[in-house]
Structure 1
Amino acid sequence: MPGMTRRSLLGTSVLAAVGAAAGCSSSTSQTSSGGGTAGTLDWWDHFSSFKHLNDDWAKQQSGVLKANVAHTYYDASKATQAFQLAHQANKMPDVYSNVIGLPLPALVSGKWVHEVTIPADVQAKLPKDAFTEGITRLNGKLYGFPMFSLRQSSTLVWANKDLWSKAGLDPGNLPTDYVAFKDALGKLKSAGIQPLTLAMGADGGRIRDQVDDLAQAAGFPGYQGLQFTTGAYAYDHDAYVTVIEYLKDLNDSKLIMPGSNNFGVVDARTRYASGAVGTFIDGIWCAGGSKALAPPIVDKLASGQILVPTPGMHPWCYRGRPAATYFVSADSKNPDAAGKLIASFMSEDYQKGMIEAMDQPPLNLDLVASSNVVDAYKKGVEFCKANVFLMPQAIVKNPAQARVDALRKPVTPHVGNIVQGYLGGSIKDLKAELKKLSDATTADRAQALQKAKAAGAKVSEDDYVFTDWKPGQDYGAAK
């Protein structure tokens, strides 16, 4: 599934979008014929934790909208391809989740999306800066609104309390640094427990996201290889090397479950949710995704922070402004009703159901503390609330950068592919391969900038330079 990660929901650049976000369990729904049939409103998404909520919501909204709202869930590994095929056949659903992996300008020019009208009272429930030119709006037109907080992570540590206790470990106090974590995995192994699994397979999108997160926590001053203060790409930074070498060390020490280098998200999470492995590195949505796979796991969930190389390091991460969660399709024959369906997701009943599904946290994180969710999820949300910060973005500094983003191309092999190759043995010189990625990504941005300038866009590499950025705080200079 090309370009599939949750990062497309976090308002990053095209490179942040090509590839984050992921429904988790196997789909039980069948492919529908696409949106726009008379009297029917088709709604497709990839949020496994929300499947039952969305099925029920579709039935409820059918009466409200006086149309048959048909909800279809796609597994993360199938969603992107399904959506692409539907787009090619002009049979996209009326409403679909943001998973394609293209920046908003490309979605608009490629006729993926239709302008959406959201009632004023619904818009009023969102933060004043929820809508960003180039991310949720383009040329003043609104194409969607965000439902999820930027303060989330794809890279928390999740443990099975029973298995950790069996190995003499404290699941209420999970290790935070590399050495302590490896030691704990060794104790699990000695107790006859499979220590760890990760989703390193498929297109490598999930492990790419996680390495980007881990690199930030290891001291990389930027996101997805882009340094905030210099605007230069540096995937070959020591932080990336440190992270990937650590993963290789765990793998070589046989602490990672065999086959993990080929596991997609569903494969890896299924092992964790079923109790076959003691530990899983996954996003804040692991609680909901695991529950969807194996409900008994909920009472065994324990969560911990993103790992840091040495004790005492700040586990700080950075994210861009959230992008639209759902779009109205350009193929929709009933865009007004589609917009009303999207607007209904901001209702109190849906928001409550969304939180209790324990997937990505809502824009208002304060709602989580009093909600009916497990402590492990609340703990993960509190960690993200305190340690994930708003990052500077070229497109916020200069909305004309949207025209550059539309011209960017996916660069491969990306970080996830490099991890796959390095752990599998086909890549020998890690630093050299990361340097190639830095150079290729720099070259791609240069060609996009050149083409955008030739077309009249007033853009510059300086748009990516934020000399006033400081670690450990929200970036507020660019508005």
Structure 2
Amino acid sequence: MPDHRNSAMSRRGFLTGVGGLAALAACGSPRGGAAAPAKSGGKQAVITHWDKWATQEPWVKKEVELFQAANPGITIERTLQASGNLENLLDLAARGGNLPDVFMVAQDRLDEHIQQGHVLDLSKYATLEWQKTFPAYSFVEGVNAADGKIYSAPFDGYGTEVQLYLNNQVFKDAGLVEADGTVKIPKTWDDVTLFAEQITKKGNGSVHGLGFGNSAFPIISWWVSFFVNGSGTPATLPSSTPGGLDPRTGKFTLRTERPYLDFLTLFLEWRDKGYIFPQSLSIDDEISRQHFARGKFGMIVGGVWNQPGWTDLGFTDYTTVTMVPQDGQRKSFFYRGAGSVHLAVSATAKNPDQAWEWFRWWHGKEAAARFVQELKGGVSIHPEANDPGKIDFAPFAQFVAGAELVLPGPQPSLRNPATIHVVPKPVTPSFEDICTGLYTGQIKDMRAALAKLAEDLEREFVKALEKAGKDGHKVSRDDYVFADWDITKPYKWDIPAYLGA
């Protein structure tokens, strides 16, 4: 699975993609982003590249082929690091003086790489003219730039992190269809309950309403995030906001709000009534996706990375649902920040000019169009690539259309770039642990567990603020409080549209 926005949700090592996708056909000019063939100074330049994109591998391989055809003086030696932690491997490579020339970098580690001198300042190449090939607010101090120097660029656009998927055949077998024969789409939590009940009854023990796979890593929190979004609380926030913190108050109260408590209570009711596939705790996410494709249950929550894998299995008869508010009335949205991190160029690259050409190609508009329209790998930062009229697969088009529900939200690092140095330590049990513990029955008192979590998060946040202050960074809790935020409207960022402007 991909590491799309380097978010907390998508960064948990979801690296086991599904191989065997059909080779992508080249479309349009072979020059991504209209990059002219690079001048290699009469020598063959070899650029080493590391990424962890397993599901997206067909696109990566195709882009390497197209780039090398357009730039005969440059060879890309790409390594897929699909096992282990890429950041740990980069740390080992840096210690040995063997960093790849171009590599994927996690957003919460970019500052560390900058401080250690691992990444190249791209300002020489990333001119204002080049920045303006991206939408406004793509390059942001404290996100992918520091001290006026650009170190990375955005790749992904702002789609919803997880969606609810419906197996159309399972719905039809259960009689959940409209008069025109299309499957019924749940509009409320009650709808999901009723649909799950009907599927389970019709399935007579062989088909269930809902399912997931929790054995490899915690999944239940995905369900919470999906169903709480839209239900009156800002469940999804820009990545520089600590988990559980409410930007409206600066306090760790989000997960003790009513929508969280209501949904967790409902989820446990689904379990107790037998609506959930009984082996969900003992199988992993990949197996659960295969079970869903084979009709063992009717609904699953997951990301867009599921779709290429299902296509590989020959399964395309499903529907994508972007949001299901509690009572059907949308009272909040999904939220995003400005700017993001994706690739970096090594400060020790022997051929930085050629490395930049590859970096530029990867982030170009034509490569983006192939990523969205051929691979159907996600939403691009380039709006042109997300043209629904050029997407020929309905479930993916439904996902792309859901991007309108992702609004700009308040981001502490935009107000004060120094907040990048505030890194609270993880707490145990985490929210994900608590969700699993409630489901297994190991945790009995939901309210007490979530209240204790809020206390633990507050404690570590205060420690992180104090440490950043001792290290000479001017930060405070005030950087995290946006009392004027109306969660039903886009938040206006008070930052330059482009760094060089």
Q: Same fold (TM over 0.5)?
A: yes
2:233 maps to 1:215: no
| Residue 177 (1) aligns with residue 188 (2) | yes
Equivalent-residue separation in structure 2 for 1:175 and 1:275 (angstroms)? 18
Aligned to 2:151: 143
Distance 1:241 1:135, change over 3 A: same
For residue 464 of structure 1, what is the aligned residue in structure 2?
Answer: 480
Counterpart contact for 1:17–1:101, Cα < 8 Å: no
Q: Which amino acid aligns with 1:326?
A: L
Structure 1 residue aligned with 2:209, among 158, 172, 195?
A: 195
Tell me the percent identity: 22
Deviation at 1:112, TM superposition (A): 5.4
CA contact (8 A) 2:210 2:276 kept: yes
Does the CA-based 8 Å contact 1:17-1:102 persist in structure 2? no
**SS of 2:387 mapped into structure 1:** helix
Aligned to 2:439: 423
8 Å CA contact 1:136, 1:144 repeated in 2:
yes
The DSSP-based 3-state class of the residue aligned with 1:247 is helix
Pairwise mapping of residues 304-343 of structure 1 onto structure 2 (< 5 A)? 304-314=321-331, 316-329=333-346, 332-343=349-360
Check 1:162–1:24 CA distance in 2 against 1; reply closer, same or farther (3 A cut).
farther
The 3-state SS of whatever aligns with 1:443 is helix
Return the alpha-carbon distance in structure 1 between the equivalents of residues 425 and 72 of structure 2: 39
Find the aligned partners of 2:280 and 2:87 in 1 and give their Cα distance. 27
SS of structure 2 residue aligned to 1:337: helix
The question of whether the paired residues in 2 share the 8 Å contact of 1:44 and 1:72 is answered with yes
SS in 2 for 1:261: coil
Residue of 373, 390, 406 corresponding to 1:371 = 390
Which residue of structure 1 aligns with residue 140 of structure 2?
A: 132
Residue 435 of structure 1: aligned partner:
451
Checking the alignment, whether the CA contact within 8 Å between 1:23 and 1:289 is kept in structure 2 is: no
CA-based RMSD of the aligned residues comes to: 3.0
Equivalent in the alignment of 2:102: 95
- Based on CA coordinates, which of the two structures has the bigger radius of gyration? 2
Give the CA deviation at 1:332: 4.4
Paired residues of 1:103 and 1:135 also in contact (CA < 8 A): no
Deviation (angstroms), 1:101: 6.4
Q: Does 1:268 align with 2:288?
A: yes
The change in CA–CA distance for 1:358 and 1:252 in structure 2 (over 3 A counts) is: farther
Question: For the structure 1 residues 207 and 23, does the alpha-carbon distance in structure 2 shift closer, same or farther, using more than 3 Å as the test?
Answer: farther
Higher mean displacement: 189-198 or 444-453: 189-198
Contact kept, 8 Å, 2:430 with 2:453, in 1: the verdict is yes
Q: In the TM superposition, what is the alpha-carbon distance from 1:349 to its structure 2 partner?
A: 3.1
Task: Look up the SS of the partner of 2:248 in the other structure.
Answer: coil
Question: For residues 264 and 329 of structure 1, what CA distance do their matches in structure 2 show?
Answer: 35
Distance 1:184 1:107, change over 3 A: farther
Q: 1:381 to 1:338 in 2, by over 3 A?
A: same
Instruction: Give the one of 44, 51, 54 matched to 2:57.
Output: 51
Cα distance, 1:19 vs structure 2: 4.3
- Map of 1:227 onto structure 2: 246
**Aligned residues, how many?**
451
Check if 1:449 corresponds to 2:465.
yes
Partners of 1:207 and 1:154 in 2: CA distance: 14
The corresponding residue for 2:416 is: 398
Unaligned stretches of 5+ residues in structure 1: 10-15, 29-37
* Number of the residue aligned with 1:13: none
- Is 1:247 the equivalent of 2:267? yes
Give per-residue Cα distances to partners, 1:412-466, cap 9 Å, x unaligned.
3221121111111211112222122211211122111112222222211011111
**Does the 8 A contact of 1:225 with 1:438 survive in 2?**
yes
Aligned counterparts of 1:198 and 1:395: Cα–Cα separation in 2: 35
Structure 1, 210-219 or 120-129: larger mean CA deviation? 210-219
Rounded to whole Å, the distance in 2 between the matches of 1:265 and 1:336 is 41
Partner of 1:106: 112
After the TM superposition, which residues 144-159 of structure 1 pair with which residues of structure 2 at under 5 Å, given as runs?
Answer: 144-150=152-158, 152-159=159-166
Q: Distance in 1 between matches of 2:333 and 2:468?
A: 34
Q: CA deviation at 1:477?
A: 4.6
CA distance in 1, matches of 2:118, 2:264: 36
Say yes or no: does 1:350 pair with 2:364. no
Counterpart pick for 1:256 among 253, 276, 294: 276
Answer whether contact 1:20 1:209 (CA < 8 A) is retained.
no
1:388 aligns with 2:406: yes
- Once the 2 structures are TM-superposed, how far is the Cα of residue 187 of structure 1 from its aligned partner? 1.9
Shift, 1:284, TM fit: 3.5
Q: TM-score, normalised by structure 1?
A: 0.84
- Decide which of 299, 302, 308 is 1:279's aligned counterpart: 299
Give the structure with the larger helix fraction.
1
The corresponding residue for 2:17 is 25
Q: 1:270 to 1:109 in 2, by over 3 A?
A: farther
Return the TM-score normalized by structure 2.
0.81
Structure 1 position 140, deviation (Å): 1.7
